[in-house]
Structure 1
């Protein structure tokens, strides 16, 4: 397969971002507070990272742990401030109490993003019905990616779902790119690449020393090499 796969790496700060770019990352997901699985970073953190690297940045819009939108006005305000600072790609995704997509919250935030490209994150792995969610979201402006492990439990359990969804790419609701992440390991890569998956997301895998230490450029380079070889 000649098409270069996208490698996205979670970054918390400038040091992470520079190491990820050095290792061969194509894009960064910018977050803070990984104890809550990644929340919206401060505008100053975005600005510092944007000044330090040249690769694409997708900024998380999520203010609390879980997949409830919470304070939608605060989300809209955060989106507005990040847009004013130059952010033009985002990550978001909200579910209601029944596991359905929270369309009012999504539409409120997307109105502020004004057509920017965005990823619907792993809320899809907690949805009541993945297929129905995709079809309900298919007309939302800017949606070009789903970040998913195929299962809330991670890629090991979700691999059959990922392979099935990869085979449906181009169908209604399945036009966005499949970005695989969540318990992803290098040994998953050959099978996913053979199925046509061309985007991969790593967090802990880029930090062999754990979340208390920065991203390792060498670890990112190992993933870059593996993706290019698969």
Structure 2
């Protein structure tokens, strides 16, 4: 049975996600730039309150996914700090200047996670070659790829999502996200057959998940 991850940009959203049946929270901040590393104190509160799985984004800034040595050092520090709070997993992604997976840096971060599952986030949608990138991500030890199918949203990326699922061959979870709502999740599930879905569940123009949308997403895959 498919599961639902909700991208939560504040503490209240995480509470709503849990209350209305989500399986996992991706906790981050700065929705306007697609999410960055959340505040440590807020993460501690969320960890204390949530019984469901909590993954935390490790992204030092918005913009591209090519990081300086200083930014990469910050990512390493963040993983160590979040790990000490008892989070369940991490969400990050590092590219090189040519649009390829930075195998050295991603591998180092996965190892630093100490066996906790790592999701390669939508930096994937900016790679030069999606199949080569997928193989590199698998080799680095990630457990999940969050992607819209290298398109602006999952509806436009549906065919690529199907291709990625076939290529993955159960070696890694392809998690559709980007424009995913209760109105299209059933169709995307039917087309891809994948096991995890990602949505902010924001339908009212705020930065907080809408309870009714979380419930509708869950209902759509739990029938």
Task: Give the TM-score taking structure 1 as reference length.
Answer: 0.89
1:115-163 deviation line (CA, Å, top 9, x unaligned): 210101111111000111121232223x111100002412122111112
2:220 matched residue in structure 1:
226
Farther-moved stretch of structure 1 (106-115 vs 11-20) = 106-115
Q: 2:65 aligns with which of 63, 67, 86?
A: 67
Q: 1:28 aligns with which of 16, 20, 25?
A: 25
Give, in angstroms, the shift of residue 68 of structure 1: 1.6
RMSD: 1.6
CA contact (8 A) 1:61 1:91 kept: yes
**Aligned length, in residue pairs:** 219
2:179 matched residue in structure 1:
183
Give, in angstroms, the shift of residue 187 of structure 1: 4.0
For 2:88 and 2:186, locate their aligned partners in 1 and report how far apart those are by CA, in whole Å.
Answer: 32
1:215 matched residue in structure 2:
209
For 2:138 and 2:109, locate their aligned partners in 1 and report how far apart those are by CA, in whole Å.
Answer: 16
For 1:12 and 1:189, locate their aligned partners in 2 and report how far apart those are by CA, in whole Å.
Answer: 21
- Consecutive unaligned residues of structure 2, counting only runs of 5 or more, are none
- Mapping of residues 9-88 of structure 1, within 5 Å: 9-65=6-62, 66-70=64-68, 71-88=71-88
For 2:220 and 2:136, locate their aligned partners in 1 and report how far apart those are by CA, in whole Å.
Answer: 35
Give, in angstroms, the shift of residue 175 of structure 1: 1.2
Give, in angstroms, the shift of residue 104 of structure 1: 2.4
- Consecutive unaligned residues of structure 1, counting only runs of 5 or more, are none
Cα distance change on mapping 1:168 and 1:104 into 2, 3 Å: closer
What SS does the aligned partner of 1:123 have? helix
Give, in angstroms, the shift of residue 22 of structure 1: 1.2
For 1:187 and 1:34, locate their aligned partners in 2 and report how far apart those are by CA, in whole Å.
Answer: 22
CA contact (8 A) 1:23 1:219 kept: no
For 1:149 and 1:111, locate their aligned partners in 2 and report how far apart those are by CA, in whole Å.
Answer: 26
For 1:223 and 1:188, locate their aligned partners in 2 and report how far apart those are by CA, in whole Å.
Answer: 9
